[in-house]
Structure 1
Amino acid sequence: MSDTTHHPAVGELLPATVPVRFVAENGTAVDPPAGADGSGYRVPADEELLEAYRRMVVGRRFDRQATALTKQGRLAVYPSSHGQEACQIAGVLALREDDWLFPTYRDSVALVSRGLDPAEVLTLLQGGWHCGYDPAATHVAPQCTPLATQTIHAVGMAEALRRKGEDSVVMAFVGDGGTSEGDFHEALNYAAVLHAPVVFFVQNNKYAISVPLAKQTAAPALAYKGIGYGMRSEQVDGNDLVAVLAVLNEAVRHAREGGGPFLVEGHTYRIESHTNADDATRYRESSEVEQWETADPLPRLETYLRGRGLLAPEDIASAQKTAEEFAAIVRDKLNADAESDPLELFDHVFGDPTPQLREQRALLESELGGTQ
C-alpha cells in the first residue's frame, strides 16, 4: 500500500545557509538582508518595532533589578537574560493573547513582557513551591528547569488546541543545551507526525552552563535538526530584533494556518554567568564576552530606529522612565516579607497523606508551639 501522506521536499525545510539578518551590529540596515533573499519574511511594522524597543528597555532594567535582588538575598537564584532580550521580546510579540508560551527558567523577561506580575514571575526563583502565576489564566506554562521537558508538554497542548478546533499556536522556548536532550527530539518528531501548531524557538546562547556548543553538536547549525523530522526550520541572528520578529511572525503564521510545526534557532549570547551561583570566567575568555557585547540587541535596535527617524531623544527618555518605574515596583514587591506557613511543607504532597507525613506534621506543629 502506498503512503499518500504529503512529505515536504528537503528544499522546503532547509534553513538559510547563514542566519537571517536585517540589521548589522552597528545599527545600519543590511541590504539585501542576509539569509533572507526571496524568503518572504516581512519587515515588522514601525509600531511593532517601537513597541519591541520599549519592552526591551523595560526588560533589560528588570533583569538588572532581579540580579540585584539576588545579591540582596531576596531571590534564591536568578538566571540572567542580559543579551538575549531580542529573542525573548520577539517571541512574546509574535504571539496573540490566546496563544500559549512554554518557557524555561531563563525567560523571566519574556514573562513580564507578556504582562505577568513580576512578583509572581519571580516566585519560583524565590524558592516558592509553585510557579507563582495561573497558567490557565495567562496561557503561560510554568517556567521549566529540567531541560527540554516542556517541549513535549507544548506539543501536547498544541495538539489539544487543534483538536478543539482553535487556531491558537504554542511556542516553546528552549536553550541550546536542551537540544541535546532526548525529550527535545521526541517533541520534534511528535509535533511533525501530528502536524501540530507549535513553534520551537531555540535561544542558542553558545553554552549549556559551561559546555560549549561544539561539544554538544556537530551539526552546522541547530536549525538543521528539524529536517530529519520533516519540519520547516530557520536560523536567525538572535541579537537582531527586526530579523527575529520577522522570522517568528512567519513561523507563527505558518503554524496557525495549518502548515505544521516550525523550528527556529536564534543565535544569541548569555552575557552574564549561567546564574548567580556560576563563575563564567572559569570556562570562557573575557575577550569573547566583549566581542558579543558589540552585538548587544538593545543599542543595536535603538541606533536602527534613530537612523530611520522613528525614535527621538524624548522617546528614549520616556522608555527609560517607564523602566525605572517598573524596577521600583519590582523592588517594592520583592522587598515585602511574605507570610509563610511552615506546615505548607506537607500540603499537596499526596492526596491522602501517608502515616509518616501525618506524624512529621504533628511533630512540627508541636515544635511550633501548636500555634499553627
Structure 2
Amino acid sequence: MPSSLRVSTVTFMTSLAFERTPLADAELVRLYSQMTQVRHLDTSAIAWQRQGIVPGYAPMRGQEAAQVGAVAALDMSRDFLFPTYREMGAALAAGVDMGEYMATHKATWNGGMYDARATRVTPIQTVIGGSALHAVGWGHGQRLDALAADADAPLDLPVALVFLGDGATSQGDVHEAMNFAGVFETPTVFFVQNNGWAISVPTERQVSGGSVAARGAGYGIAAVRVDGNDIEEVVQATRAAVAHARSGAGPVVVEAMTYRRGPHSTSDDPGRYRSLEEERNDGGPDPLDVARERLLSRGAFSTADVADVQSAAEALEERVRADVQAQGPRPGAEMFEYVYQEMPVSLREQAAAWREESDHV
C-alpha cells in the first residue's frame, strides 16, 4: 500500500431527528385553507388547458401538503425558494400572485411574471434538476458573506430550499449540487417530492435502492424521509432541516413520500403506464382529508368552516382565471432582449432581421 494513501474515518449523517408534535390549531387551519386553495386552482388549471385558456400545465394533485408544509417552515423574509414547474402550491404559500405565476403556463412569459427578488421565489425552472445548482450556489454565497463579515460569530444563515422530484435526483446536476453542498456545507435543503412516478417510470425503476433520502449518506449530509401526505409531519421535519442548515451544519435531504394523483402534464396519458385501480390503491390518504379530519376531530373546525374555506378557494380561482384570460401576448422583440445582459452583435443582427421580416416592429 503506498505510504501516501490516507485512510480517514468519515461519519455519515443518515437521519435527521425532528419532533412529531401537533401544530397549533390556528396554524393548521391556515395551512388547510392554503391546501384547499391549491387543490381548487390545480383542478381548475387542468380545465383551463382543456378549454384553451392555457396551452399546458403540470398538475400537482396529491402534493399539496408537501409543498405548503415545506414553505411553512421557511422565513420568507430571508430564505429563498427554488421551484420546478410543478410548484404552484409552494408559490401560492409563499405569497406569489397566482395570475403572474400562471403567465408561464399561459405562455406569455418565461418563468412567471412575478418579481423573484420581492417574493424570494426564483422563476419557474423547467430544466430537470437545474434548480439544485442554483440553490447551492446561492446558499454558498450566503455562507461566504457571513464568514467574511465575522468568521468567529455563530452562523445564522439564510436558507435555500430547492424542490425536486424523485426522477430529477437521477440527473447529473443534482449529484454535482449535493456533492458541492456537502463539501462546502452550504445552507441548502433539498426537498424531494417522491410522488411515485418519474413521468411514466415508477420510482423503483428510477431510483436505485428505492430511497432518495439514503443518498444523503453518500455525500456526508443529513437526510430524513417523511410522510408527504401529513402536513404536520412535513412542517416539523422541514423546520428541523432548515434549523440544521441555518446553523451552518450543512445541507439536508428531505424526502417527502407522496403520490401524483394525475398525469405528469396535461399532454400525458397516465393510463398508458398505470391503471385507475392502481392509482386508487397506491395513492395513500389524501392530504386534504388528513388535515380536515384532524381539525374536525380536535373541534378546531366545523362543517360550516369547511364550506367557508371552499368558498374562499372558489373566489380566488375566479380572480386568477380573470387575470390569466386578460393577459395578452408579449412583444415579440422580447425574445432577443432578455437573453444576454449585453446583447452580442450576432443577436443584434438577428433582431434587426426579424424586425424587417415581421409585422411586429
Q: Same fold (TM over 0.5)?
A: yes
Matching of residue 45 in structure 1 with residue 24 in structure 2: yes
- Taking the aligned partners of 1:349 and 1:40, their CA distance within structure 2 comes to 46
Q: Mark the CA change 1:102 to 1:59 in structure 2 (over 3 Å): closer, same or farther.
A: same
1:274-313 equivalence runs, <5 A: 274-293=264-283, 295-313=285-303
Is the contact between residue 203 and residue 267 of structure 1 (CA under 8 Å) also seen in structure 2?
Answer: yes
Is the contact between residue 192 and residue 231 of structure 1 (CA under 8 Å) also seen in structure 2?
Answer: yes
Aligned match of 2:33: 54
The Cα of 1:353 is off from its aligned counterpart by 4.3
Matching of residue 187 in structure 1 with residue 177 in structure 2: yes
**What percent of counterpart residues are identical?**
36
Is the contact between residue 155 and residue 187 of structure 1 (CA under 8 Å) also seen in structure 2?
Answer: yes
Matching of residue 111 in structure 1 with residue 111 in structure 2: no
Aligned match of 2:243: 253
Scaled by the length of structure 1, what TM-score is found?
0.86
- Taking the aligned partners of 2:280 and 2:91, their CA distance within structure 1 comes to 28
Aligned match of 2:315: 325
Scaled by the length of structure 2, what TM-score is found?
0.89
Matching of residue 120 in structure 1 with residue 100 in structure 2: yes
1:29-51 Cα offsets, whole Å, 9 max, x none, are xxxxxxx8xx5444333322121
Is the contact between residue 346 and residue 361 of structure 1 (CA under 8 Å) also seen in structure 2?
Answer: no
Aligned match of 2:14: 13
Q: Mark the CA change 1:149 to 1:342 in structure 2 (over 3 Å): closer, same or farther.
A: closer
Is the contact between residue 19 and residue 237 of structure 2 (CA under 8 Å) also seen in structure 1?
Answer: no
What letter corresponds to residue 82 of structure 1 in structure 2? R
Q: Mark the CA change 1:49 to 1:341 in structure 2 (over 3 Å): closer, same or farther.
A: same
Aligned residue among 116, 135, 140 for 1:135:
116
Q: Mark the CA change 1:64 to 1:358 in structure 2 (over 3 Å): closer, same or farther.
A: closer
Is the contact between residue 133 and residue 173 of structure 2 (CA under 8 Å) also seen in structure 1?
Answer: yes
Structure 2 residue matching 1:77: 3-state secondary structure: coil
In structure 1, stretches of 5+ residues that fail to align are 16-35
Is the contact between residue 175 and residue 202 of structure 1 (CA under 8 Å) also seen in structure 2?
Answer: yes
- Taking the aligned partners of 1:345 and 1:244, their CA distance within structure 2 comes to 40
Is the contact between residue 193 and residue 255 of structure 2 (CA under 8 Å) also seen in structure 1?
Answer: yes
Is the contact between residue 20 and residue 236 of structure 2 (CA under 8 Å) also seen in structure 1?
Answer: yes
Structure 2 residue matching 1:140: 3-state secondary structure: coil
1:120-269 equivalence runs, <5 A: 120-131=100-111, 132-165=113-146, 167-269=157-259
1:62-77 equivalence runs, <5 A: 62-77=41-56
Structure 2 residue matching 1:201: 3-state secondary structure: strand
Is the contact between residue 80 and residue 121 of structure 2 (CA under 8 Å) also seen in structure 1?
Answer: yes
Aligned match of 2:350: 357
Over the aligned positions, Cα root-mean-square deviation in angstroms equals 2.2
Q: Mark the CA change 1:64 to 1:168 in structure 2 (over 3 Å): closer, same or farther.
A: same
- Taking the aligned partners of 1:113 and 1:14, their CA distance within structure 2 comes to 27
In structure 2, stretches of 5+ residues that fail to align are 147-155
Structure 1 residue matching 2:176: 3-state secondary structure: helix
- Taking the aligned partners of 2:335 and 2:204, their CA distance within structure 1 comes to 42
Structure 1 residue matching 2:333: 3-state secondary structure: helix
- Taking the aligned partners of 2:28 and 2:96, their CA distance within structure 1 comes to 21
1:304-323 Cα offsets, whole Å, 9 max, x none, are 11111111223212211210
- Taking the aligned partners of 1:170 and 1:82, their CA distance within structure 2 comes to 24
Is the contact between residue 41 and residue 250 of structure 1 (CA under 8 Å) also seen in structure 2?
Answer: no
- Taking the aligned partners of 2:5 and 2:292, their CA distance within structure 1 comes to 55
